[in-house]
Amino acid sequence: MMKSTPFAVTVIAKQFNGAGNVLLTLASRSGQPLPAFTPGAHIDVLIPDGGKRQYSLCSTAADHYEICVRLDECSTGGSRWLHQQLNVGDDLEISAPRNHFPLPQAPRTLLFAAGIGLTPLLVMAETLAARQADFTLHLYLKRADELAFSARLSNLGARVVIHYSSEGDSLRQSVPDDLTKPDNAALVFCGPAGFMDHLQQLAFQFGWAEAQLHSERFQPTKSVMACGAFEVEIASSGARFAVGEQQTIAEVLENAGIELPLSCEQGMCGSCITGVLAGEPDHRDEVLSKQERAANDCIVLCCSRARSPLLVLDL
């Protein structure tokens, strides 16, 4: 499994997009077309001296990419660098788009976004509108000045409902009527952890099945490493490696000189999903679906572990 080659892009526009947000427009530096993507896709952005960060694509045109980045008060360098140091004309390295948050197929779709969680859901909403599909987009913000993509949201008309907690209209204060009606619907949501957890709790309360829920998190769910040591075997060579209680599979394999396509290293992006030929994974990621986990034929190497003494990897 080889690391993918990054794409060189140039920042051709940078503009504020609601309080605390900056919209970056990226064009191919070589002039070659950028890879196509589907609603819900994201890219890695290489931050100088800061590693990779993942951002959802929210473009409408095919000849460039757009990402909208919120300045995180606890930024470790990603959002702060993009807001404060990156300028129009600067070059960046990005990955090809990946999509582990695809738009589901359903007779009716409810989209729930909080804050910058709007970015993947906006493209989904526009896709559904183009299909003349039945959908509603609920957007939750603290204040009106935080609204991003106001023109694009206006084009969607009455199918967009904006809720401002400063006006007493938060998800905890008022539950939209359509959330109480799960029949023939898909529930798609993205936002901060507290919002996501509360929405999921409400959905189960009103009878939504887990298979109807589709979400993407900003940060991974905290998990304990534990479950003891185990071994992994590389199917192509038969080489075996011990994975200690405080080690990840990816760490052990990289230390052994095996190249892996790592990106977020938190189980969020899916770049290091690898086939499992034998053994039982202990899934700790935020990427695989319930069905994919149940199949036990793949694993996210950067965070997941093993329930069995040995995992045989399709490497």
pLDDT of residue 224: 44
Beta-carbon count within 10 A of 265 CB: 19
Rounded Cα–Cα distance for residues 88 and 5 (Å): 24
pLDDT at 292: 86
Cβ within 8 Å of residue 31, ≥6 positions away:
none
Q: Can you give the pLDDT of all 315 residues of the chain as single tens digits? A: 445 678 899 999 999 999 999 999 999 999 899 999 999 999 999 998 878 888 999 998 888 999 999 998 766 678 999 999 999 999 999 999 999 899 999 999 999 999 999 999 999 999 999 999 999 999 999 999 999 999 999 999 999 999 999 998 999 889 999 999 999 999 999 998 889 989 999 999 999 999 999 998 766 554 444 567 899 999 999 999 999 988 899 989 988 999 888 777 777 778 889 999 999 999 988 788 778 888 989 999 998 999 999 999 999
